[in-house]
A and B are shown apart, each in its own frame.
Chain A
Amino acid sequence: DADVTQTPRNRITKTGKRIMLECSQTKGHDRMYWYRQDPGLGLRLIYYSFDVKDINKGEISDGYSVSRQAQAKFSLSLESAIPNQTALYFCATSDSRDWYGYTFGSGTRLTVV
């Protein structure tokens, strides 16, 4: 099993629908992150959490929300999906003792039509 698992791997949804992307990890890391990848824009941080009770906005949090249900689980929600949220989404984890060593999941490709 992968250290960082994202579900679903692919999703097509309609404009206005609510959708949740899930991330779970077996690394035992305390920190978790959500990034999105867009062509020409690289990886941009949406939200991050340094522990279960800590949630912080990243550079592009508008239109998104997150929930840290447990140390191992961090989900990203799009309350009302719009087409410009079509992107590749990555969850990542790191340990506060080795904070720059990110482990990424395989990504969720989301298409909003």
Chain B
Amino acid sequence: DQQVKQNSPSLSVQEGRISILNCDYTNSMFDYFLWYKKYPAEGPTFLISISSIKDKNEDGRFTVFLNKSAKHLSLHIVPSQPGDSAVYFCAASGSGTASKLTFGTGTRLQVTL
């Protein structure tokens, strides 16, 4: 049973436009959420996170929004750049130091010129 789902396996966006990647979760015990980015032949790297006590977190061009009532989070990239082309995984965790990350299925973003 997939507790973290990314329903769009792929997304294509023009350079300079906004990229919106979505993620849904089912476990109401999750209260910390992260996005990881993965380039080919490399491991995922941490991008941005958000705690359940917030509904928005920004870091430069990247903003994550959390809607707890809908169990939904999204990653906005503005403006999108060709170097943003990668696979993006959302991840979620419960509280407490014994928690582990549960990852989503991934969305492949392609930013075109």
Residue in contact with B100 in the complex, picked from A48, A90, A101, CB distance below 8 Å = A48
Shortest distance from the beta carbon of B40 to any chain A beta carbon, whole Å: 10
List residues of chain A with CB within 8 A of the CB of B49.
100
Residues A42 and B97 in contact in the complex (CB < 8 Å), given A100-B49, A101-B46: no
One of A14-22, A60-68, A75-83, A103-111 at the interface: A103-111
A72 in contact (CB, < 8 A): no
Q: In terms of DSSP, what is the predominant structure of the interface of chain B? A: loop
A45 in contact (CB, < 8 A): yes
- List CB contacts (< 8 Å) of A26-83 with chain B: 33, 35, 40-45, 48, 50, 58
Total interface residues on B, using CB and 8 Å?
A: 26
CB atoms of A44 and B41 under 8 A apart: no
| Cα A32 to Cα B44 with chains together (Å) | 15
Shortest distance from the beta carbon of B96 to any chain A beta carbon, whole Å: 9
Total A-B pairs in contact (CB under 8 Å)? 53
| Cα A39 to Cα B56 with chains together (Å) | 30
List residues of chain A with CB within 8 A of the CB of B36.
102
CB atoms of A104 and B34 under 8 A apart: no
Total interface residues on A, using CB and 8 Å?
A: 24
| Cα A35 to Cα B105 with chains together (Å) | 13
CB atoms of A42 and B45 under 8 A apart: no
B62 in contact (CB, < 8 A): no
Q: Which residue of B lies closest to A44 (CB)?
A: B103
| Cα A6 to Cα B52 with chains together (Å) | 33
B65 in contact (CB, < 8 A): no
| Cα A52 to Cα B105 with chains together (Å) | 30
Residue in contact with A100 in the complex, picked from B34, B44, B45, B89, CB distance below 8 Å = B34
What are the 6 tightest A-B residue pairs by CB atom distance, in nearest-first order? A104-B43, A43-B103, A42-B105, A42-B103, A104-B44, A42-B106
